Structures are given as C-alpha cells and as structure tokens.
Amino acid sequence: MASGSTRIVSSLQWRLLLVLTIVVTFIAIIGDILAYQTAFRETQDLQDAQLEQIAHLLDPRSAILRRDTPEDLNFPESTRTLPKPRILAQTLDSPYLNILMGDDNAVQNLQQLQDGFHNFTTVARHWRVYILSREHERIIVAQRTAYRNHIAKDSALSVVWPFLILMPLLWLFTAIWIRRLFRATQEMSTELTARNANDLSPLDTKHVPTEIRPFITALNRLFSQLQAAIELDKKFISHAAHELRTPITALTIQIARFDEPNLTIQEQHKLIGQIKAGIARTEQLLTQLLSMARAQHQQQQHLMPNNAYTALMPLLRDLIAELLPLAEQKQQNLSVDIGEDINLPISSNDLQTILKNILVNAIKYTPAHGQICIQTKPTTDNRLALWIEDSGYGISETERKLIFEPFYRILGNNENGSGLGLAIVKTLCDQWHITIQLADSNLTNSQHKPGLAVGLIFNIYNQ
C-alpha cells in the first residue's frame, strides 16, 4: 500500500491520470445534476402548458365537466404502480369535485384560489391545478403531482443515463491517451538505460513533445559539456604525462651515472647540481599541474565565494617581495603605479595565482636590464584595467591566441617552463568573469621593439 501511494506521488503520469480522472468525474457529476434538474423542470413546464391548453380548449357549459366518475382517478400514490396519465377537468361548482379529489373540503378550498397554477393538497393526495375563469364559469384542470414527477423523472433520467454510461469510457480513453503521451519519455528512458557509460551522443528531439524538448536540449548540452570536459581531461593527462616523463627520464639517467667507476668528485658535484635543478623543475611542473587541476575543478563546480573582494596593493606588495630576488638576478627594473584603495572582485588566493603567473612569465622572458611595469587604468565603461607590461621580445599576433592552451610554449627561447602558467590564468579569469587582453607594450627592448602587455579587465562598477 505504501509503495503504491509512493508511486502515485512520484510519478507524473499517475498524478496526471488521477487529477484528470477526478476532474472529469467531478465535471460529469455536476453536468448530470444540472442536466437532470433542467430536464425535470422542462418536463414540469411542458405538463403545465398541457394543463393550460386543455383548460382553454374546454367548453365551460359542457355537461361532461359535471359528469366525471371517480373510478379511474383512485390510482395509488406510488410512482411505480401509476396507471396511464389521467387529467381531472371540472368546474369549481361541480358536485363531483370533492369525490374526485377525495376531500370533502376540496371545492371550498379551491374556490379561494385565484386563476392560474397552484400546488394543491387534499387529505391524501397532492395535485397540480390550473384554474381559469371563462364565461362566468371557473374551470379547474388538475393532475396528480406523483404522476407528474414520475414523468419528469423518466424524462430527466433519459438525459442522464448516457453520461453515466459514457463516463467509464472517458476514463479508459484518458488513461490510454496519457500512456501514449508519456510513451516518448519511457522510450527515451529505456534508451538511456541501455546506453554504454561512454556513449554521450545527443538524444533525438524530433519525436518528443514540445514541452519535453527543452529538457532534452538541456540534457544534450550537458552531454556535450561533459564530453568536452572528458576530452579536456584526457588531453591534459596526456600532456602532463609527456611533460613529466622528460624530467624524470633525465633524472634517472643522471642518477645512473653515479654507478660509473671512473667518475671524479667534480663530475659528481656537477651531476648533483643537475639533479637538484631537475628536481626543482619537476617540483615546479607538479605545482603548476596541481594549480591547473584546482582551477579547472573550481570552474566545473562553480566554487566561487559570494561577494569576495581583495585589496590589490597589500597582496601585490607581498607578491613583489617574493619575486623581487628573481628580478634582481637579471637586474630588471620592477615599477608599480597603483592606488592604495583598489579592491577587486576576486578571492585573494586566485588573484595571487593570476598575478604570480603573469609576473613570473614577465620576469622570465624579459632580458637582463629590462623593465616591468604594473599599473591600473580606468576604461570607458566604468571598469578597471590592470596592466602588466614588460620590455621583452613580445608575442606575435598569430601566437597570442595559442598561448592560453595548456602546455603550449613559444619556440625559439631557452627559458624553462611548463606551458601551464597562462592556461591557469585564463581558467581563473573565465571563472571570475575577468576579461584578459594581450597587446603591445609601451616599453621597448634593446631592439626597439615593443614587449608584451597583459591586461586584466575587472567589473568593479557594482562595488
């Protein structure tokens, strides 16, 4: 019993069938009641019209209105045993009227009534009477109320019975129609159940109801996004495995050289230095891989804190203090032109990751004695642009669209890197709805060519 009620509550098909059945039954009952009452009243009105018509057709001076006998009028009150219709027609001064109505006071009571229709009650019976005055005579045409009701009920029931007979057929038609209506969803559910776990092909939307089509379209969009995410993960894992294989292989070869018998102390120290450098590069690559995985996870799960704002200048001071030794090794000039009261709509951890990756790239790819400038500029649409410019060798227009791809590296430079820094930046910027732009820098290198300018456009107008 509990499982049946649970099925009705959870099933849209059963709920729709139940509601439609109740509504159809309720409307049919109301319709039957109204049809019965209408047919009953119309039959009563028709019988009244007959009484009135008979009264107008009778001749008040006819002797037959005074010679009726009571034998045909003493039928029982039960509507099931009533004889054929009988109509009483007499004048009000008829000596037989009291006998015909079975009441000694019938004439006296009737004479007090005005012309027209009346419901009249005698000692043992109920009557419907019509009184008409013509040629100084008063005529009464009467009919037993029980028989009138019997006729009216038969007429009303003849209208109601077809509705009662057709109601089960209507229930059956409703159930069949609803099952056919939900057949498309059931077939689609069967198709999805039979699918392989790796089958993310879109579902067909041509043969489904219009109301379900948006749901199928959204499901197909989800399949597409999931397929893209899986492909991205496969590509990321493939590149990560390739990038990790190279330094690990180099470390393995370098460590194996310690088994050589004629290895000098100087060569051992040199190998140890190379191994340390390889471990450092591997550690940096693993850090980048973890950052990239975390950024992608946040993007897929929409893990963004609400109303997160970070003060730019305090975070930038700590970051410059961390990276300044790298810039000093290359004798680079690192300048900042930013106000103290700037708050950006992003979490501090993600903002630090974005700025650190951009600044590390700027320091790495800017030659010695170069310049790096960090500054903010307002935009025409009340947003804030944070620009990081360098005097490096820049990036060509054709490669600017590719550098945000994971593991993509520009050929022709001798700097070590994983190719993940700007991919992490792009992922986090998309997550926080930050527009990232690449342009030629206002700073030039030794060849008098512009370096690279990376712009981050923040929506701070609603702060």
Local structure of 156: helix, strand or coil = helix
Between residues 321 and 266, the one the model is more confident about? 321
Domains and CATH numbers, the chain: 13-173 (no CATH), 213-292 (1.10.287), 306-458 (3.30.565.10)
SS3 content of the chain, % helix, strand, coil (to 5): 55, 15, 30
Average pLDDT of 374-390?
86
The model's pLDDT over 246-289, given as tens digits with 9 standing for 90+, comes to 667 777 877 887 777 777 778 778 878 878 877 877 776 677 66
Q: Is the pLDDT assigned to residue 84 strictly greater than 60?
A: no
- The pLDDT of 163-184, averaged and rounded, is 81
**Given a cut of 90, is residue 28 above it in pLDDT?**
no
d(CA 301, CA 364): 33
More confident residue, 91 or 382: 91
* pLDDT above 90 for 462: no
Decide if pLDDT at 1 tops 60. no
pLDDT of residue 66: 60
More confident residue, 253 or 127: 127
Confidence at residue 374, expressed as pLDDT on a 0 to 100 scale: 93
Question: What's phi and psi for 439, nearest 5 deg?
Answer: -150, 170
For the CA atoms of 44, 45, 49, 55, the dihedral, rounded to the nearest 10 degrees, stands at 50
**Six-digit token pair at 108?**
């006296």
Digit-coded pLDDT (tens) for 107-126: 888 888 999 999 998 887 89
| Summary mean pLDDT of the chain | 79
In angstroms, the CA 8 to CA 17 distance is 10
- For the record, the structure tokens of 176 come out as 């069949």
pLDDT of residue 408 exceeding 50, the answer is yes
Give the residue, 265 or 244, on which the prediction is more confident.
265
The answer to whether 418 and 285 are in contact (CB under 8 A) is yes
Asked if the model's pLDDT at residue 7 lies above 60, the reply is: no
Phi, psi of 415 (to 5 degrees): -80, 140
pLDDT reading at 372 higher than 90: yes
pLDDT for the residue numbered 147: 87
Q: What is the mean pLDDT of residues 437-462?
A: 83
Pairwise pLDDT comparison (407 vs 100), residue with the higher score:
100
Residue 375: what pLDDT?
92
Could you give the C-alpha distances from 433 to 226, 268, 344, 426, 456, in angstroms and in order? 21, 51, 12, 10, 10
Whether the pLDDT of residue 81 is over 60: the answer is: no
Weakest mean pLDDT among 158-162, 173-177, 412-416: 412-416
